[in-house]
Amino acid sequence: MVNLSHLYGDPSINQNEMSNVDEDLSESEDSEVEEGSLGRKIFSSQELHNYTSPKPNKQGGKKNFLGVEAVYLSIGLGCAHLPTNLDHFMAYKVYGVCPDDWIIGQKLIVGGCEPLPGRRCFSISPPHYSKPLPTNSSLWSQPSEANILWNHYKCKDYPCLASNKTIGKRGFFKCSDCFDLSKQCWVIPSNESESAEFTVDEVLGEIRIGLDYSPTTGTFAAIMKENNVTIASATLNLGATFNEVIALRGLLPLYVSMGSRLPFFDNTLDIVHTTLFLDWWIGLEVLQYVLFDWDRILRPKGLLWVDRFFYSKEDMKLYLGEFTRLGYRKLLWRVVPKTVKHGDELFFSTVLEKPVRG
């Protein structure tokens, strides 16, 4: 365990102090990003110090069933570069109600502070929470607005998220039609010369469990559930209520960033699916780390389904080369022009089968 004592100053926040989160923290703070070297970063939160200190077993000096004499609670290395927000995140009343500050937590996560430190406060609830719909009707029904805390979103109700009239004002642009739950992609076959989208029927085989790593409200997982496949949907709340809607549809949300090692054991999942996540913004080295982590969790003969990866023609060899280097068997492979925007952009979709490696 790395000693973090050099990162703490005189604690100025005690355990009974409540955090003031009334300010708008949805935009990035340049001061946080521009802070200097690690040696100048000081954490002032006493509760953070409490969290990161070793927790000896009750029977001191004896190892527990895990083979250790103390428990070390996890915190991401990137947290050391974000002391202002981290101190803010850890300022709360112990055994009180947590502040409605998930936006700070997400800012920390995307900045590399993952896992976040745990907190000893109770999660805040929507004041008029109602019982969710039963599974047989929740998959394709609009969730109750009363079951969502809207404070940190530009949209303050569900119609705002789904209406074409609010495009550009909703606070998100990835997966712009995600909240229209009448749209069932991956079901109706499309023209192969115009669309890079495959259908579930083209892909399904010995598939039982998997992961959808996309900006999503769970539509792919809902379709797969109707095919008796359990899918966890990994996404952040990038400007809208993605995770809340996934859960209210009776599906499993997984709140992780792309910089996180996925919380699945090696060779366990039947399928990893991604749509509208991988595209021209991603550097090759980052793409490699993402692909190798997906390879780690996929079982032998498992499927990697990449849906609508878009990039410029000049980058085609670079990106497609990374998928070829995996050594997977190509079951489906399609490249079509991305006609909606610039003529030099392409859509790439593929379904690849992981080989058995000795």
Prior bond to 54 cis, omega within 30? Answer: no
Q: What is the distance between the alpha carbons of residues 202 and 224, in angstroms, rounded to a whole number?
A: 13
Query: What's the predicted TM-score (pTM) here?
Result: 0.77
Beta bridge partners of 233: 212, 253
* Predicted confidence pLDDT, tens digits, the chain (358 residues): 455 555 665 544 444 444 333 333 334 444 444 343 334 457 888 999 888 888 888 777 788 887 888 888 888 989 999 999 999 999 999 999 999 999 999 999 999 999 999 999 999 999 999 988 888 889 999 999 999 999 999 999 999 998 888 888 888 877 778 888 876 777 777 776 667 778 888 887 789 999 999 999 999 999 999 999 999 999 999 889 999 999 999 999 999 988 888 999 999 999 999 998 877 778 888 889 999 999 999 999 999 999 988 888 888 888 899 999 999 999 999 988 877 655 688 888 999 999 998 7
